[in-house]
Amino acid sequence: MFATAVIKGTSGTVARTTVDAVVKDLKLSLDIDPTAYIDMENIYTNNTYQSGINTISDNNRIEQSSNERIEVKIVEDKLSDYVVGLSHDKLKPLFKNRHLAISTVFRPMTMKVSIIYHSKSKVNVDRTIASLSEYLVTKGGGYVHMVNSYYLIPKSVLGLLENVYTTARVLVPDDKNFVEYVLGDSNVAKSLTLGSNINGSVSGLVSLLQTKIHGTFDMDIKDLKSELDKTNNTYTVELSYKFEYNKPERLGLEYDIIINNSYLPERYYKERYITDIDTRRYTDEMFDDKYTLHDIPKQYVCIPPFDNHKPIDHISISIKPFLSVLCMINADDRKNLFYLNELVYYDFVDEVMDYMTNNREGLLDGLQKGYDSIFLLDLYRGESLLHRTNLTVSEDLLVSAVNDLELTGVYRVVISMVVDNNELSPKGRSSIKDLNPEVYSTLLSSVNGDLVDHRIADSVLSNPMIPVDSISRKTVQVSTVKTFFKEKGE
């Protein structure tokens, strides 16, 4: 499944932390009195954490006011409508194991900062103006800043992590506790920290380091001069500064719905229509955080229909997948998977079923001489395409693995159609005669079209592999389903 979770609180932990660091850099570079305190609008508050979680603190409010003060006003806006989907360390996701990957999604932002320096001394203000003028003449129009900030992991993501952890242990015991499970993985970023907050619940924190924040002054130096603020009886100068940076906006989640041969709780994949007309998918908010499931474009049907799978490593562009079957493994028999003529959710139309029955051996054939069938079966382990010789199909159309499958793996059987007759063997080309020409043409048109399966499961049953009522089996992309499948029970 693919989902996103909104990261909350970044206006304080990232945006204003970044502004604070930038202003402190400028304070040092512009020869501003070191006793001047920074008075930033909308100063954020910090939570206190235990067990190694150290948040960035801002002591501006507890500094004693002096004659020197820097008033900061900020305006933040997104730089574009595009987001940057790389993890912040650009090396690997924030967290990744065989069942779950979490990455930070950033939005490029522009920050405009108004810096008003207040001083009792006109000399101090004039010195700052002279320092800025000298810098602009000798070194250019801006600075490069390095900023440390952080954000908190949404509760919904921690909940997903914990459910992956507990589900994984149902059939495959593990002595690790939750924190050891997360932080002990070799694919966890060093910036991710877990710990307990004051009330004892687990919290997650991600530290950020941005090293190339480039800022420039956004005003004409010739217009700068010290002015007397009669209200505060201070001399002032106002500087305008702007910079761009990447702000963490949400977490991108990719996870299996079967973990070590056990299903995750239903809320992580249950989807339904908002209305009969609006076909967007949604899920209830989990905990207090916005959590959204996403479709991915695909040209085939999934069993179960909420399995958001897309083969990314298929054998040829001449072979188009049209059905992906997520397989549960019987702990007592780790080879047998399912019967082609007894699929849940869908039944093949008679023409397709008859063709598969008559060309059973060709379903797994794929040697140098070409394919003996227009339909082919492949076995995936996770995203990896295994060799077709790992499968067998019996005379009663039972699809099985040659060797025992592992409970820790996620297996899918993908059924495809050969759309280029040049890839067929003479036997395969001859087999097309078994199909009605009109049916064959419709099948080709269906798998070559821009098809997206929007089928929605609305089952409250504990085992989602059990067929549900006919209404929930309907699909927006009716042409895909009606081409290959018929209503269950017809």
Q: Which has the closest alpha carbon to 4: 415, 228, 377, 285?
A: 285
Interatomic CA distance for residues 315 and 310, integer angstroms:
14
In Å, how far are 196, 228, 249, 262 from 252, measured between CA atoms? 24, 51, 10, 23
Tokens linked to 52: 């190694």
Distance, first Cα to last Cα, the chain: 31
Distance set, CA 380 to CA 314, 377, 411, 416 (Å): 10, 10, 6, 13
Give the integer Cα–Cα distance in Å for 326 and 30: 63
Nearest C-alpha neighbor of 319 from the set 419, 390, 394, 249: 419
Q: How far is CA 429 from CA 130, 259, 357, 448, in A?
A: 84, 41, 17, 19
- Comparing C-alpha atoms, which of 279, 288, 284 is closest to residue 266? 284
Question: Collapsing DSSP states into helix, strand and coil, what is residue 383?
Answer: coil
CA angle 280, 283, 289 (to 5 degrees): 120
Can you give the pLDDT at residue 84?
56
289 forms bridges with which residues in the sheet? 286
Q: Is residue 241 within 8 Å of 215, Cβ to Cβ? A: yes
Cα within 13 Å of Cα(224), Cβ side:
22
- Confidence at residue 248, expressed as pLDDT on a 0 to 100 scale: 92
Q: In sequence order, what are the beta bridge partners of 338? A: 399
C-alpha–C-alpha distance, residues 113 and 107, integer Å: 19
CA geometry: angle 286, 288, 292, nearest 5 deg: 45
447-to-371, 444, 452, 473 alpha-carbon distances in Å:
18, 6, 11, 20
Q: Provide the pairing of β-strand 391-393 with 398-401.
A: antiparallel
pTM score, whole prediction = 0.78
pLDDT of residue 197: 67
CA proximity to 176, closest of 185, 188, 189 = 185
The answer to whether the beta carbons of residues 301 and 453 sit under 8 Å apart is yes
pLDDT of 239 reads 92
Residues of the chain below pLDDT 50: 43-65, 86-91, 272-288, 450-478
**Residue 427 CA: distances (Å) to CA of 154, 290, 377:** 57, 54, 17
Token output for 389: 């010789």
- Parallel, antiparallel or unpaired: strands 192-196 and 142-152: unpaired
**Dist. CA 184–CA 234, nearest whole Å:** 56
Which run of H or of E encompasses 238?
A: strand 234-255
Cα separation of 34 and 29, whole Å? 11
Give the DSSP H or E segment for 242: strand 234-255
Cα–Cα distance for residue pair 47/348, rounded to 1 Å: 57
Which pLDDT score, from 0 to 100, does residue 480 have?
63
Dihedral sign computed on CA atoms, order 432, 435, 437, 443:
negative
- In sequence order, what E strands does 285-374 have? 291-294, 301-303, 319-327, 336-339, 347-348
Cα–Cα separations (whole angstroms), residue 11 to 116, 196, 249 = 21, 23, 10
Are 289 and 9 a contacting pair, CB within 8 Å? no
